[in-house]
Amino acid sequence: MMNRGRPHAMRPLATGCLLIAGALASSIAHAGCRKENLATYQIGQTTYVDVHNGMAQGDVIRTGSAVGEGKVLLVCEAGDAHFRGRWEGGQTTTDPVPLTVRGRPSGFGIRLTLQEGVGGPTRPFPHDFTRTFRQGETVTSSDDRVGYEIVRLGGPVEFGDVDPGPIAQSSVDQPNGALVVFRSMEIFKLIFRRPACSISAETLNQTVKLGDYNPSNFATADRATPWVDFRLRVEECLEPVGMIAKFTFGMPSDADADLPEVFSMAGSGSKNVGLELGDEDHRTMEPGEPIQLNALGTGKDFVFAARLRETRPSVEGGGAFVRPVRVQVDFN
């Protein structure tokens, strides 16, 4: 018996050709430079900058430059190399970078520029540029010049040493594509100093008139004549706050032998009498002994006083006299 059935349908086999496409990356040689030395440019080498709060915002108060030492910094491959000048703090504008004193804002900032080679372009920080080199060509620091400007910013002035350390750098591509720093710009010894203060020559060279007296005028509890005030005027002192004025009248050799706290009047024609100087509160100032007072601003007066005082009983003689007294004033 034959079994009948329907023939099975034939399914075509899926056929095709798998194409695998790809490419091997070729090894690309980067043009770039190898570092030989690091150049350090010091901004301020014990540089004093006199500053005060009255300076207007935006004023450039000091300019200067630092130069290279003639070292070979880079040896470069043939082709283009990309250079970068950057602030250490990451600032991306050419605005002044704030400077600090003891970690506090100083009220001043700094701008930097870099000039490569004599007559080369001057570029402000931050900057980027590309330079084309021949094989083995070098970059040296011989003619490099880093310029700086110190600029008044807002806020109160902080006096003292500017916090030292790196503030900017120059880097370049290496042949392997990585960056290398080959210049460093650093604050070294930059000092914001108060302007000098002075006393007017007119008041330093004045004559103090004590008046006319006779021995009976010393018959007082102090055995002295009345105090007569005199003033030493400040000619200029823009930043007195925090400053000390040190006054020294005469020298130790000016002291009276019997009463060393007063000035000797030897040769005046009088005996047993001396010249006594005092501060504004009439506290005695001994010959050659400095006294310290808070500094005063421009146009203000330091007040002192003078009188005659008995050195031992009793005052004798008389006549007119002039007693020069040397005055030394130091502000710090």
Contacts of 53 (CB under 8 A, 6+ apart): 107, 156, 157, 238, 239
Residue 207 CB: number of other CB atoms within 10 A? 7
Q: Token pair for residue 13? A: 């086999």
Q: Token pair for residue 322? A: 């002039």
Q: How would you label 19-41 residue by residue, b for 16+ Cβ within 10 Å and e otherwise? A: eeeeeeeeeeeebbbebeeebeb
Q: CB–CB of 166/184 below 8 Å?
A: yes
Say if 33-193 and 198-331 have the same CATH topology.
yes
pLDDT at 30: 63
Total residues belonging to the chain: 332
Class assignment of domain 33-193? Answer: mainly beta
Class assignment of domain 198-331? Answer: mainly beta
Find the radius of gyration of the CA atoms of the chain. Answer: 40
Give the amino acid at 23: A
pLDDT at 25: 37
Interatomic CA distance for residues 44 and 167, integer angstroms:
13
Interatomic CA distance for residues 187 and 98, integer angstroms:
12
DSSP element (H, E) containing 136: none
Collapsing DSSP states into helix, strand and coil, what is residue 30?
A: coil
Interatomic CA distance for residues 52 and 193, integer angstroms:
8
Where do the domains of the chain lie?
A: 33-193, 198-331
DSSP 195-261: PP-EE-HHHHT---------GGGG-STTSBPPPEEEEEEEEE-S--TT-EEEEEES-GGGB-SS-TT
DSSP 194: P
Per-10-residue mean pLDDT for the chain, 332 residues long? Answer: 36 33 41 94 89 96 90 95 96 96 98 89 96 95 92 96 97 94 96 95 96 88 95 96 96 96 90 96 98 97 97 86 95 92
Q: CB–CB of 144/72 below 8 Å?
A: no
Contacts of 217 (CB under 8 A, 6+ apart): 225
